[in-house]
Chains A and B, each alone.
Chain A
């Protein structure tokens, strides 16, 4: 990628889909995602939300960091980098991964795509090139930043399979969750993975930037028959909480950017112990994680449901009304499909266990007047929302 020496004239970049987003937006509510302009909301949040949950949503995910990792030692390198056992990963499959520093603290999470033998793509939330290069010392691997060389759309929702099929992408019926297929859309190649961040049926469609607008147009050409709706990051925030997915840098501070002692988090502490395999052999952070796994748990990022319907923003959590401070809410949303307040909360364990009672102190406004209320919180282990149609193969034709 070559950057001109007068790039300062444009602080925020445009993605390959920008022209379509700019034409669609009615709110002009933009934010910045990895240096690119990204919509928060394009028309109405509730409409966008229900596109994900009841029809088909389209989100531009081009700003996502993407690294191509190839070479004879690519597998060995990734196995050493990532906490997860990768031995079951096969070409044409994707897996969710996290990686840590030597202290066993989380650097980031992401998805690992295996295209072929010794050919992978790692997608991450934050910039990882320096860490990957540092970790690659001693391995025969080649790491390339592909962030701006690949455009991508997340097409998610119960009708997403039908929409993509109608849009001219044939061959999706056999694609199982976490599968990858090399297909074509009309006359250009696309890579489709059955992956997503919404907890619903959905796909991610990867395309070279020059085919970005044709892909968009193909998908939106079926809008007259299917309710295809472009969505922004505000909707994503709602549905990812419903699905129980966490966001590094928001739900916890990533290790590389942490200034204060103990403000970073281990995979166990954010409830990602299931992606740590201490028996797979050496990996970065293993020693610290082995030690941590033997100690009583200090804290966990916990899914909670908060009783009532008061707006939940940032809030402290106590072990009883007016009791001891035990945690704080990291992200929360009123779930329209569950009609409940749901949240992820960082909670300190007492004696190695979750406190028996959890109460949130909610501060909220009514007509600009601040009010305050106590609400009981109930912890849960499962995703808040995980419909059956999400994993059916072939997906039902709606």
Chain B
């Protein structure tokens, strides 16, 4: 029988991060992964010959540089190249571009609205302020406000101090920001329809919310609080595809003596005497360890691989009602060449970045309305990128790979998903892009379409929810995943959570995995191998 100090269930990027810090502390660690490959939602695979598809996540910004540094991921092959732009095509044949060169960025805003070109200064400063605030919490275990153990008090004081560094009006603004819709928040700054639509897109990605739903303003931070080398809010491509993040983590983990077993589906976390004792695989094999960490989302962890009888009933209740609705789809496309976009002047750099096709808040809200009625959006919000323009390893010479993230796509369309419906959904997206690119359809060599059904099947993300649970305030900080369980410890001794269902939430960030490792090492009285946060000041 195999025995380890710790078993991490799931080789998602958080499971790998967690495992690497445990191994770095000298523990004998095993990662067990259900799939034949690692990465979970941070994966790249050759699904069409010659093309590397990043089936789920496709751009990187949130991944904490502290973790990158502490696990030496640069030497393990990870390179993140900053993206230079994003843009929105307009229905009238024009476009709006958000460039990283500041003079061009300003003139483009001026081209659409003189006021908005000025207002962006205020917008940038305000968003940066909230980002700074929230970034201070990313690599910290959230406080437990119900408890008065000194450590929590300290953490809570830290939280309050952060609060009080704000002026009074900024404090009110912050609370407004946490509770507002993205549309209304942006309307405090901008007047131009396209500018409003462009900047609000990031706030609905992955959520079961619309641009006018309260709480979406905060989601903006999940797209703005990351950075590529200190440029807060900028996104980058991982060279080789997002799977490179998981590969570098795995390589670092293995360099610290860790073991990974793929094709190892965990059926059950074994518990005896209110203590975790190990895992049982679908094959019936039993592996023991005193520490068992789940990278799975909170619903799956507690309702599928734990015996409800081992759990407090309230926790089971909370898990059943955890908000984790799927709302996203994804297309990965092999292209015979680079699509043309006649709206863009020849030589425009904007095809190098994010491309969007929804130019009004109204259209964004309509897209959400469809989803509420269990239909995929007839006019969806798409985030399209062609990373093969930067990275020749993704497609054969002269060919290209396009990644299209699609919001919204229902979990359960009327009558359930069928392959035919999936293709119709894909066609809706292709038609939208083709409206702006006349040669697009002629270039299609292979299209992989993923609805929440495929995402869930492949990654185990419940309902295909990309964040392992909705990012609303009732499920954030000390409420994530549930009040009383925000410090990565499960209800039985030796059992922990390290996935995106825990603070600070979803996205390829690594922070949940690192934070969980810190708590585990504390309980085991081992030296803390997890990094201190880099300060913004």
Binding site for B on A (CB under 8 A): 1, 3, 5-9, 11-13, 32, 35, 102-103, 126-131, 133, 145, 256-262
Q: Is the CB of B118 within 8 A of A8?
A: no
CA distance A133 to B117 in the complex (A): 13
Residues of B within 8 A of A103 (CB): 167, 169
Q: Is the CB of B345 within 8 A of A6?
A: yes
Q: Is the CB of A129 within 8 A of B114?
A: yes
Q: Is the CB of A127 within 8 A of B107?
A: no
CA distance A32 to B102 in the complex (A): 11
Q: Is the CB of A261 within 8 A of B115?
A: no
Among B115, B118, B129, B345, the most chain A Cβ lie within 10 Å of the Cβ of B118
Residues of B within 8 A of A11 (CB): 101, 103-104
Residues of B within 8 A of A3 (CB): 107, 110-111
Total number of B residues with any Cβ neighbor in A under 8 Å = 35
Q: Is the CB of B104 within 8 A of A261?
A: no
A35-B107, A257-B125, A261-B165 as given contacts; A5 in contact with B114, CB under 8 Å? no
Q: Is the CB of B107 within 8 A of A32?
A: no
Q: Is the CB of A8 within 8 A of B106?
A: no
B190 — nearest CB in chain A belongs to which residue?
Answer: A130
Q: Is the CB of A35 within 8 A of B132?
A: no
CA distance A261 to B164 in the complex (A): 9
B129 — nearest CB in chain A belongs to which residue?
Answer: A259
Other 14 A-B pairs with CB < 8 A, given A5-B94, A102-B169: A7-B104, A7-B108, A7-B111, A8-B348, A13-B103, A103-B169, A126-B121, A129-B114, A129-B115, A129-B118, A133-B115, A256-B122, A256-B125, A260-B165
CB distance from B221 to the nearest CB of A (A): 14
B527 CB within 8 Å of chain A: no
B95 CB within 8 Å of chain A: yes
CB distance from A113 to the nearest CB of B (A): 21
Q: Is the CB of A259 within 8 A of B115?
A: no
Residues of A within 8 A of B122 (CB): 130, 256-257
CB distance from B61 to the nearest CB of A (A): 19
Q: Is the CB of A5 within 8 A of B128?
A: no
B507 CB within 8 Å of chain A: no
Q: Is the CB of A128 within 8 A of B118?
A: yes
CB distance from A8 to the nearest CB of B (A): 5
A5-B94, A35-B106 as given contacts; A261 in contact with B170, CB under 8 Å? yes
Q: Is the CB of A261 within 8 A of B166?
A: yes
B521 CB within 8 Å of chain A: no
Fill in one digit per residue for B116-136: 1 if any A CB lies within 8 Å of its CB, else 0. 111101101100110010000
CA distance A7 to B348 in the complex (A): 10
Residues of A within 8 A of B166 (CB): 261
B50 CB within 8 Å of chain A: no
Q: What does DSSP make chain B's interface, helix, strand, loop or mixed?
A: helix
A102 — nearest CB in chain B belongs to which residue?
Answer: B169
Residues of A within 8 A of B94 (CB): 5
Fill in one digit per residue for B512-531: 1 if any A CB lies within 8 Å of its CB, else 0. 00000000000000000000
B357 CB within 8 Å of chain A: no
CA distance A131 to B118 in the complex (A): 8
Residues of A within 8 A of B116 (CB): 130
CB distance from B94 to the nearest CB of A (A): 7
Residues of B within 8 A of A145 (CB): 114
A128 — nearest CB in chain B belongs to which residue?
Answer: B118
Q: Which of B95, B103, B117 contacts A32 (CB 8 A)?
A: B103
Residues of A within 8 A of B114 (CB): 129, 145
A126 — nearest CB in chain B belongs to which residue?
Answer: B121
B469 CB within 8 Å of chain A: no
Q: Which of A1, A8, A13, A131 contacts B97 (CB 8 A)?
A: A8
Q: Is the CB of A7 within 8 A of B125?
A: no
B97 — nearest CB in chain A belongs to which residue?
Answer: A8
B89 CB within 8 Å of chain A: no
Q: Could you show 13 A-B contacts with beta carbons less than 8 Å apart?
A: A3-B107, A6-B348, A7-B107, A8-B99, A11-B103, A11-B104, A35-B103, A129-B114, A257-B122, A257-B125, A258-B125, A261-B166, A261-B170
A131 — nearest CB in chain B belongs to which residue?
Answer: B118
Residues of B within 8 A of A102 (CB): 169
CB distance from B351 to the nearest CB of A (A): 12
Residues of B within 8 A of A258 (CB): 125
CA distance A5 to B170 in the complex (A): 37
Please name the 3 residue pairs, one residue from A and one from B, whose CB atoms are nearest each other, closest first. A130-B118, A6-B345, A3-B111
CA distance A131 to B114 in the complex (A): 11
B273 CB within 8 Å of chain A: no
CA distance A12 to B165 in the complex (A): 38
A35 — nearest CB in chain B belongs to which residue?
Answer: B103
CA distance A29 to B349 in the complex (A): 27
Q: Is the CB of B103 within 8 A of A256?
A: no
Q: Which of B104, B125, B345 contacts A259 (CB 8 A)?
A: B125
CA distance A127 to B114 in the complex (A): 10
Q: Is the CB of B128 within 8 A of A259?
A: yes
CA distance A242 to B97 in the complex (A): 43
A32-B103, A129-B115, A261-B167 as given contacts; A9 in contact with B347, CB under 8 Å? yes
CA distance A321 to B166 in the complex (A): 33
Fill in one digit per residue for B418-445: 1 if any A CB lies within 8 Å of its CB, else 0. 0000000000000000000000000000
CB distance from A289 to the nearest CB of B (A): 15
CB distance from B447 to the nearest CB of A (A): 31
B93 — nearest CB in chain A belongs to which residue?
Answer: A5
B49 CB within 8 Å of chain A: no
Residues of A within 8 A of B347 (CB): 6, 9
B414 CB within 8 Å of chain A: no
Residues of B within 8 A of A8 (CB): 97, 99, 101, 104, 108, 345, 348-349
CB distance from B301 to the nearest CB of A (A): 38
Q: Which of B124, B169, B349, B537 contacts A260 (CB 8 A)?
A: B537
CA distance A256 to B166 in the complex (A): 15
Residues of A within 8 A of B348 (CB): 6, 8
CA distance A13 to B108 in the complex (A): 13
A3-B107, A5-B111 as given contacts; A130 in contact with B345, CB under 8 Å? no
Residues of A within 8 A of B104 (CB): 7-8, 11
Q: Which of A5, A131, A260 contacts B345 (CB 8 A)?
A: A5
Residues of A within 8 A of B129 (CB): 259-260
Residues of B within 8 A of A12 (CB): 103
Q: Is the CB of B117 within 8 A of A127?
A: yes
CA distance A363 to B138 in the complex (A): 37
Among A6, A8, A127, A262, the most chain B Cβ lie within 10 Å of the Cβ of A8
CA distance A13 to B110 in the complex (A): 14
CB distance from B98 to the nearest CB of A (A): 11
Residues of B within 8 A of A126 (CB): 121
CA distance A5 to B348 in the complex (A): 10
CB distance from A389 to the nearest CB of B (A): 39
CB distance from A25 to the nearest CB of B (A): 20
Among B111, B116, B347, the most chain A Cβ lie within 10 Å of the Cβ of B111
Residues of A within 8 A of B111 (CB): 3, 5, 7
CA distance A145 to B132 in the complex (A): 34
Residues of A within 8 A of B115 (CB): 129-130, 133
B131 — nearest CB in chain A belongs to which residue?
Answer: A259
CA distance A130 to B165 in the complex (A): 27
CA distance A20 to B81 in the complex (A): 40
Residues of A within 8 A of B117 (CB): 127, 129-130
B114 — nearest CB in chain A belongs to which residue?
Answer: A129
CA distance A126 to B106 in the complex (A): 13
Residues of B within 8 A of A130 (CB): 115-119, 122
CB distance from A333 to the nearest CB of B (A): 27
Q: Is the CB of B132 within 8 A of A127?
A: no
Among A103, A256, A257, A259, the most chain B Cβ lie within 10 Å of the Cβ of A259
Q: Is the CB of B101 within 8 A of A127?
A: no
Fill in one digit per residue for B56-85: 1 if any A CB lies within 8 Å of its CB, else 0. 000000000000000000000000000000
CB distance from B305 to the nearest CB of A (A): 44
CB distance from B84 to the nearest CB of A (A): 11
CB distance from B264 to the nearest CB of A (A): 47
CA distance A6 to B346 in the complex (A): 8
A105 — nearest CB in chain B belongs to which residue?
Answer: B167
Residues of A within 8 A of B169 (CB): 102-103
